[in-house]
A and B are shown apart, each in its own frame.
Chain A
Amino acid sequence: MSAEATEKKAPVIKFLAGNEACMEGALAAGCRFFAGYPISPSSEIAEKMSGRLPKLGGKFIQMEDEIASMGAIIGASLAGAKSMTATSGPGFSLMQENIGYAMMAEVPCVVVNVMRGGPSTGNPTGPSQSDVMQCRWGTHGDHPAIVLSPNSIREAFDTTVQCFNFAEQFRTCVVLAMDEIVAHMREKIVIPAKEDIKIVNRKKPNLKPGDPYKPYEADASLIPPMMNFGEGFRYHVTGLDHDATGFPSGAPDNQEILHRRLVDKVEMHKDELFLFENHRTEDAEVLVVAYGSTSRSAKRAVEEARAQGIKAGLFRPITLFPIPEKQIALAASHAKKVVVPEMNLGQYRLEVERILGPAVPVVGVHRVNGEPIAPSLILSAIVGG
């Protein structure tokens, strides 16, 4: 791995595992700080980062636990570095408090959660999608959530770049929810040339030295421009309720304004966040909604159902949250039945049921046995009554 793919002017062909592609995507997006703690099945991301970052002048630090890893990437981001950590189940649980801090204090950062079976130690090496709702609601309090989930090696690269772009654009913590299958399988990937990768950087306020800076004063976009520590505009950052100055404020009006803005800044831009794939949904009478590696089983099942004369289609959210609700409803507009396969006991299915309402039956295909969901299981649900 001597070639510094992320710095190449021409595309580079590689054969990578998902965890490696994720790392390449992060470096391409400009990530120059990684803090982490070893945990299966995400550890390769930390391992590869420890080798690559210093070659690019970036920094890698192995922390004493995931709590500290999360704290360190927030600190690094405030000091100006695009930063990231990667973990799995139990580590993701430990990170939740500081993930909430990043959302509250509006510090851009990326957390990769390579999902394994839970709760608790669960199945450290088997695939799972059982953290989907934790990705949405893991930390306490109302909060925004941007969660992406790739299903291929190329997409592991692309969605990681997207995570950084969204984190920078929206000043928040963005989660990449990758399952173990995508993390560890290998495929060919053509890493685009540097100039072909769209990079978003945090918006800076237009200030002259000495101008007053209110770090949480947002314009109509609801996203406040951000100065880094050390750039000459001293300000205060806290996880307490605060006003536009950044200082704690217990005033009820300020609290209401803050919490609504934190959620609304993502909500009002959500059309920019929706990444998804429609596969043969135009006339689909049976719609499968699947994400991550399970969507690959689902695509096969859809093809096999079509071969049997069943009008099946697949809607694949890449952006899990915010949920592409209108897009799901549109894909289901001809559906007499909707099938939601997941390597959990129905976390996203509940969302699909909520979106589509009682008019369309929603059937779950759920497995929590540490094995991928085979296409035949999904096909049975498509075909079955």
Chain B
Amino acid sequence: MSMDYFQYLRKERMPHIWCPGCGHGTIMKSILRALDKLKWAKDDVVVVSGIGCSSRTPGYLDFNTLHTTHGRALSFAQGVKVANPNLKVIVISGDGDAMAIGGNHFIHACRRNMDITLIVFNNNIYGMTGGQASPTTFTGSKGTTAPYGAIEQPFDVCNMAQASGATYVARALDIDAVAMDRVILSALQNKGFSVVDAWSQCTTYFGRQNKWGDASEMMDRYKEMTYNVRLAEKMSPEEKAGKYPVGMLFQTSRPEWCEEYGKLIERVSK
């Protein structure tokens, strides 16, 4: 871990806006470690985001960066990718951004299977706007718009992604940087649409409202709520009940949109 992060960062944009204890910076570093392994030219990388705490990430990164409107990052990103398939496109989105206002774009991006990686910085809350409940807020958990606890069932980002057609789907916790590095690298290497549900604790809003304690206590709780998918076969249904698997959850191979469109151009332009 002796790499120089600053070669990928816009130093002049520091300090970042994230609160002490927030997991977003940890995930950002995982992304940078994966990119460092891939050795992609910085000029070829485009990082796109929507609106929210996580969506501020591109501003800190020294690539082509595009901070779009709330929920719409994937639509901008697909335009970039289709117009120039040589560009490496990474989308960073929050749980509200990707799964609520951008939910329709999410499922259709999965269906199209363009070579784009979406990393959902999932902290189960709208942090930037003050701690309102999000589509991944756990049933019973509080938000400023769910003062008595959420009565709705949360979305499972990974199930949604798989059901909608993503070709690489994984979940990792910010506390487990090794696993996070591994799944982000695999996601970036997958030739198709990849989704990483990257869990990140929001101590300021989620932790305080739900009395989940500080960052380390929240991370411990996330560990208790999850299990390693590699151990799933050895676990009883009771042990898995109500818990989320982490690790690489799904991978398949399917025609990639831009390649298929390239073939279409070949076919019709003769």
Chain A residues with CB under 8 Å of chain B are 32-33, 35, 54-57, 59, 61, 63-65, 67-81, 83, 97-98, 101, 229-240, 247-248
Residues of B within 8 A of A77 (CB): 79, 83
Tell me whether A72 and B78 are in contact in the complex, defined as CB-CB below 8 angstroms, given that A78-B66, A83-B83 are known contacts. Answer: yes
Chain B interface mostly helix, strand, loop or mixed? helix
Q: Is the CB of A76 within 8 A of B69?
A: no
Q: Closest A-chain residue to B86, C-beta based?
A: A230
Q: Is the CB of A64 within 8 A of B105?
A: yes
Residues of B within 8 A of A232 (CB): 43
Tell me whether A229 and B62 are in contact in the complex, defined as CB-CB below 8 angstroms, given that A97-B69, A238-B67, A239-B67 are known contacts. Answer: no
Residues of A within 8 A of B13 (CB): 247
Smallest distance from the beta carbon of A236 to chain B beta carbons, Å? Answer: 5
Smallest distance from the beta carbon of B212 to chain A beta carbons, Å? Answer: 31
Residues of B within 8 A of A54 (CB): 261, 264-265, 268-269
Q: Is the CB of B68 within 8 A of A80?
A: no
Among B63, B69, B78, B268, max chain A CB count under 10 A is at B69
Q: Is the CB of B76 within 8 A of A74?
A: yes
Any A CB within 8 A of the CB of B58: yes
Any A CB within 8 A of the CB of B108: yes
Smallest distance from the beta carbon of A214 to chain B beta carbons, Å? Answer: 13
Residues of A within 8 A of B104 (CB): 64-65, 68
Any A CB within 8 A of the CB of B35: no
Which 4 pairs show the lowest CB-CB distances between chains A and B? A75-B79, A71-B75, A72-B79, A76-B83
Smallest distance from the beta carbon of B75 to chain A beta carbons, Å? Answer: 3
**Chain B positions 79-130 with a Cβ under 8 Å from a chain A Cβ:** 79-84, 86-87, 104-105, 107-108
Chain A interface mostly helix, strand, loop or mixed? mixed
Of A56, A68, A235, A240, which one neighbours B269 at CB under 8 angstroms? A56
Contact with A along B36-55 (1 / 0, CB 8 A): 00000011101010000000
Q: Is the CB of A75 within 8 A of B80?
A: yes
Q: Is the CB of B83 within 8 A of A79?
A: yes
Any A CB within 8 A of the CB of B64: yes
Any A CB within 8 A of the CB of B59: yes
Any A CB within 8 A of the CB of B24: no
- A61 to B265 alpha-carbon distance, docked (Å): 13
Tell me whether A68 and B108 are in contact in the complex, defined as CB-CB below 8 angstroms, given that A75-B83, A79-B80, A80-B83 are known contacts. Answer: yes
Q: Is the CB of B59 within 8 A of A98?
A: no
Any A CB within 8 A of the CB of B33: no
Residues of B within 8 A of A81 (CB): 83-84
Chain B residues with CB under 8 Å of chain A are 10, 13, 42-44, 46, 48, 58-59, 62-69, 72, 74-84, 86-87, 104-105, 107-108, 261, 264-265, 268-269
Q: Is the CB of B42 within 8 A of A234?
A: yes
- A79 to B48 alpha-carbon distance, docked (Å): 12
Q: Is the CB of A71 within 8 A of B59?
A: no
Q: Can you identify 20 A-B contacts, CB atoms within 8 angstroms?
A: A32-B83, A33-B79, A57-B265, A61-B78, A67-B75, A75-B78, A76-B80, A79-B84, A81-B84, A97-B72, A98-B69, A229-B64, A230-B87, A234-B63, A234-B64, A236-B10, A237-B65, A237-B67, A247-B13, A248-B67
Tell me whether A63 and B87 are in contact in the complex, defined as CB-CB below 8 angstroms, given that A71-B68, A78-B66, A239-B69 are known contacts. Answer: no
* 8 more A-B residue pairs beyond the given contacts A68-B72, A239-B68, with a C-beta to C-beta distance below 8 A: A54-B264, A68-B75, A69-B75, A71-B68, A75-B78, A230-B46, A230-B84, A236-B66
Of A70, A75, A239, which one neighbours B48 at CB under 8 angstroms? A75
Residues of A within 8 A of B265 (CB): 54-55, 57
Q: Is the CB of A55 within 8 A of B75?
A: no
Q: Is the CB of A71 within 8 A of B46?
A: no
Residues of A within 8 A of B86 (CB): 230
